[in-house]
Amino acid sequence: MRPTDLVSPDSVCASLRATTKKHLLQELSEKAAKICGLPAREIFDALLHRERLGSTGIGEGIAIPHGKLAKLKGIYGVFGRLDRPVDFGSLDGAPVDLVFMILTPESSGADHLKALACAARMLRDQGLVATLRGTRDDDALYSLIAQRSKPFAA
């Protein structure tokens, strides 16, 4: 699975304006609703349900919120860069400024885990992460992801 299997030019945002974790999840849900066709509220509820189990902030300013939805017909991702980092309850306590949200069908099984692994592996590349943080244009942000998009096996 490649990062570009999860995101498209329409699902990348270089200037998310949320100031809290809840507002960030709402902003991501609204963006996702436009690309997957489900109501933003259903997406937000799925993300919030998962966050209640434990933060998806993985550290070093990165979060990978994710959720499963029964009505979803495929795997969708939204990648974003925040204008200002927000407290996300991350494992290391660092505020989050990069987020890779993943939505999968409830029946996705291993594909859900493959998508999470793909996002995590992409965001382990410190050079890419630094460049993503400095990019303030949606098209340029997607281009960076696409240029570095290679298969990441689960």
- The residues carrying an active-site annotation are 66
Residues 108 and 129: their CA atoms lie apart, in Å, by: 28
Instruction: Centre a 10 Å sphere on the Cβ of residue 70 and count the other Cβ atoms it contains.
Output: 10
Question: 27, 91, 19: which is closest to 62 by C-alpha?
Answer: 91
Q: Which two tokens stand for residue 47?
A: 């993300």
Each residue of 74-99: b (16+ CB within 10 Å) or e? ebbbbbbbbeeebebebeeebbbbbb
Tokens of 51: 């966050």
Secondary structure of 59-93 as H, E, C letters = ECCEECCEEEECCCCCCEEEEEEEEEEECCCCCCC
